[in-house]
Amino acid sequence: MNTLTGSTLWINGILATMDPALRGDYGLLTNHVLITREESIQAVIPREEATGIPGERIDLRGALVTPGFIDCHTHLVFAGNRAAEWEQRLRGVSYEELAAAGGGIQSTVNATREADFEYLYKLSEGRLAAMAAEGVTTVEIKSGYGLDLDNERKILRVIRALREKTGMDISPTLLAAHSVPREFSGRPDDYIDEICLRILPELRKEGLFEAVDIFCETIAFNTEQAEKLFKAAAVLGIPVKAHNEQRSNTGGSALLARYGGWSTDHIEHLGGEALQALEKSGTVAVLLPLAFWFLGDTHRPPVSLLRQHGIPLAVATDYNPGTSPFLSIRLAMNAACTCFGLTAAEVLAGVTRHAARALGRGRTHGQLKAGYRANFSIWAVERPVELFYELGLNPLLHRVINGRISRFGQKTDKES
């Protein structure tokens, strides 16, 4: 029996495979056919070898195909907004001053605690649809605006419902250690204990998250507190990641590397001493240029050093109401070039292959390669750089999820 029976052959596309084994930028292949079967990529083969292979043929008419984009750092589930705080920041009040005055993350926590499940779901579904419209097929979503057992659970259940109902591939993260809630004001160690002894194990029992995150910063938690959390996660076999060195050099990245962290995120103020540890642990550096831009930061992450050490660079939106109210992965890609000096090929790897690795999906997502998940986007452009060169127009033609052309919220809808 021909093993390719039941396959779909995607013909006449330009394939940006992002396969590092292929030479040249983007692992670009022309004159090749992408073959999918059910939810997987079965093969990528030269056109002449595909003659005679049975299966449905879909003519891409010269369109560009990329792996589905992966936004590996978002805070997508929250209520309220912080537009009024932004007005204050424009008048010179700093992010830290707003936080100290009870604004910042705490003000979003207040609004999110008041919101019920249905309202949060509706808000979040709309945001996710905007991401999908730009070719995103996988999104990491953090909790972190609940800061107590019931409210963190509510947010994670919203994330679970989004995963079940929208057809989007979602990686949920527990970020209970985002900020010290007002009930624990002045007692951050007690709150870390509450997370380690209660919130983490309780919500783990429900299978509500894949990884644990912490905001390691002067206005949030220190490295001793982070280490306590990483130890508690390690006991339960849960991967860790962290918001590190966003505003100051806390040493969080070096610590995280010792715990084999999936990713160290922000890292504008990362010091050279952490690089070897990160290199050894294989931790991905997640760059968040839109937060840098919206906060009017000037201190850039040490991109050249990260390159020298061969640390994989990912790029994400950091979508959140305080530091990055931008639902656009394409804008983040543009800003990674303009603000941080990444090359176009680095940026595309940053939202595909490397972002997959940052979510523990490096062997299944982020490349057009046999055995990988058939998640890809089809674009009306000729060159990959056009995906983030011109914004305001959207060149996305189709998103394919699990081998099927998918409209947001209709995961089994198939067209040709």
Dihedral, 152, 157, 159, 161 alpha carbons, nearest 10: -170
Q: Which residue has the tokens 């009017």?
A: 296
Q: What angle is formed at CA 243 by the lines to CA 121 and CA 68, rounded to 5 degrees?
A: 55
Contacts of 54 (CB under 8 A, 6+ apart): 2, 4, 5, 7
Smallest gap from residue 348 Cβ to Fe ion (A): 22
Structure tokens at 48: 């002449």
CB of 324 to Fe ion, least distance (A): 7
> Least distance (Å) from Fe ion to the CB of residue 108?
12
Choose the one of Fe ion, ligand NIG, none that binds residue 323, judging by a C-beta under 5 to 8 angstroms depending on kind.
Answer: ligand NIG
- Give per-residue burial for 75-92: e unless 16+ CB within 10 Å, then b: bbbbbbebeebbeebeee
Q: At closest approach, how far in Å is the CB of 76 from ligand NIG?
A: 12
Q: Which of 245, 268, 318, 346 binds Fe ion (CB under 5 A)?
A: 318
Q: Dmax over Cα atoms in the chain, in whole Å? A: 71
Instruction: Output the smallest distance, CB 375 to Fe ion, in A.
Output: 24
Q: Compare residues 215 and 372 and give the one whose CB is closer to ligand NIG.
A: 215
Residue whose CB is less far from ligand NIG, 292 or 388? 292
132: burial class by Cβ within 10 Å (0-12, 13-18, 19+)? buried
C-beta of 125 vs 318, nearer to Fe ion: 318
Task: Provide, rounded to whole angstroms, the least separation between the CB of residue 282 and Fe ion.
Answer: 21
Nearer to Fe ion by C-beta: 142 or 228?
Answer: 142
Residue with the CB atom nearest ligand NIG in the bound state: 322
Nearest partner of 69 among 130, 142, 158, 122, judged by Cα: 130
Q: What are the CA-CA distances from residue 82 to residues 124, 188, 198, 309 (Å)?
A: 16, 24, 30, 38
Burial class (CB in 10 A: 0-12, 13-18, 19+), 129: middle
Q: Which is nearer to ligand NIG, 104 or 403 (CB)?
A: 104
97 CB-near residues (< 8 Å, 6+ apart): none
Of 103-111, 116-124, 312-320, 385-393, which part binds Fe ion (CB under 5 A)? 312-320
Rounded CA-CA distance 388/137 in Å is 17
Which residues are near ligand NIG by CB under 6 A?
75, 104-105, 108, 215, 243, 246, 291, 318, 320-323
Stretch that binds Fe ion, among 202-210, 225-233, 313-321, 333-341 (CB under 5 A): 313-321
We find the least distance from the C-beta atom of residue 142 to Fe ion, in angstroms, to be 7
If one counts every other C-beta atom within 10 angstroms of the C-beta of residue 208, the result is: 18
227 or 318: CB nearest Fe ion: 318
Is residue 125 a contact residue for Fe ion (CB under 5 A)? no
268 binds Fe ion (CB under 5 A): no
321 binds, among ligand NIG, Fe ion, none (CB under 5 to 8 A by kind): ligand NIG
- Least gap, CB of 320 to Fe ion (angstroms): 6
57 and 9 Cβ atoms separated by less than 8 Å:
yes
- Three-point CA angle 69, 72, 77, nearest 5°: 105
Length of the chain: 416
Residue 166: contacted member of Fe ion, ligand NIG, none (CB under 5 to 8 Å, by partner type): none
Q: Which does 301 bind (CB under 5 to 8 A by kind): ligand NIG, Fe ion, none?
A: none
| Binding span for Fe ion by CB under 5 A among 161-169, 190-198, 311-319, 370-378 | 311-319
Whichever of 179 and 375 has its CB closer to Fe ion, that residue is: 179
Contacting positions for Fe ion (CB under 5 A): 318
